[in-house]
């Protein structure tokens, strides 16, 4: 039979062990959606835990978002791979600037997108947008700073908030996948407008990022019949 001192040590060990268990940063959001609507419960059971993890490469996240504008994810990944082959990995503003427009276009970027990537690289290199500090800013301030760079629109800024910073309540009404996902979720006859997207997702606050991730997963990895 353990002594009182041994029992105390055992309890302390359990507490210490619990403190080192990994914490799921999205569990509250997932539970919130489950309780909100039976549709979410079915989707979450099908997809599994939210696997969204913030990317440490903040500049690279923005570069990839610009590359991925209005093209397939497969094409974007191929172009991004070629850019990294010539400019190094991870993406860096100095290396991108040194590569220049002609090299970026040879990697598959259009002239417009190449200039957008260079605009971004210059702004970060000059310190106009301090990416290592923006995590202390609110969402609106970050979007305002990023969209001041020519070529970085709201969608790109929102992808940064989600995939680089892991902000929990981002809704991208300009994302085609989200509009398709909302159409399917609510059984709509037509794609919702941006205004309708906001109205339809208002009750998903403050975890719209989690909802978006599950909608994307439903499109990228549809349920097999």
**Is position 175 annotated as part of the catalytic site?**
yes
Residue 172 CA to residue 159 CA, distance in Å, equals 8
> At 55, phi and psi to the nearest 5?
-90, 130
Question: Which among 24, 138, 175, 184 is annotated as catalytic?
Answer: 175
Token pair belonging to 56: 């440490």
DSSP string, 163-174: HTT--SS---TT
184/219 Cα distance (integer angstroms): 10
Q: How far apart are CA 124 and CA 111, in angstroms?
A: 20
**Nearest CA-CA partner of 97 in 79, 123, 78:** 123
d(CA 81, CA 58): 17
Residues annotated as catalytic are 175
């Amino acid at each position: 039979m353990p002594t009182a001192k041994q029992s105390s040590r055992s309890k302390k060990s359990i507490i210490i062990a619990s403190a080192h268990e990994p914490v799921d940063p999205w569990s509250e959001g997932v539970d919130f959606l489950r309780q909100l609507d039976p549709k979410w419960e079915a989707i979450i059971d099908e997809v599994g835990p939210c696997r969204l993890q913030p990317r440490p490469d903040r500049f690279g996240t923005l570069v990839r978002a610009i590359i991925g504008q209005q093209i397939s994810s497969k094409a974007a990944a191929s172009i991004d791979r070629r850019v990294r082959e010539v400019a190094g990995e991870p993406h860096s503003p100095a290396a991108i600037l040194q590569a220049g427009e002609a090299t970026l276009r040879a990697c598959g970027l259009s002239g417009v997108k190449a200039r957008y990537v260079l605009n971004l690289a210059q702004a970060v290199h000059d310190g106009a947008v301090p990416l290592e500090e923006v995590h202390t800013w609110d969402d609106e301030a970050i979007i305002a700073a990023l969209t001041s760079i020519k070529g970085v629109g709201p969608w790109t800024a929102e992808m940064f908030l989600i995939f680089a910073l892991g902000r929990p309540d981002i809704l991208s009404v300009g994302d085609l996948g989200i509009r398709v996902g909302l159409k399917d979720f609510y059984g709509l006859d037509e794609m919702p407008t941006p205004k309708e997207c906001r109205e339809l997702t208002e009750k998903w606050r403050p975890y719209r990022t989690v909802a978006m991730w599950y909608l994307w997963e439903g499109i990228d990895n549809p349920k097999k019949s």
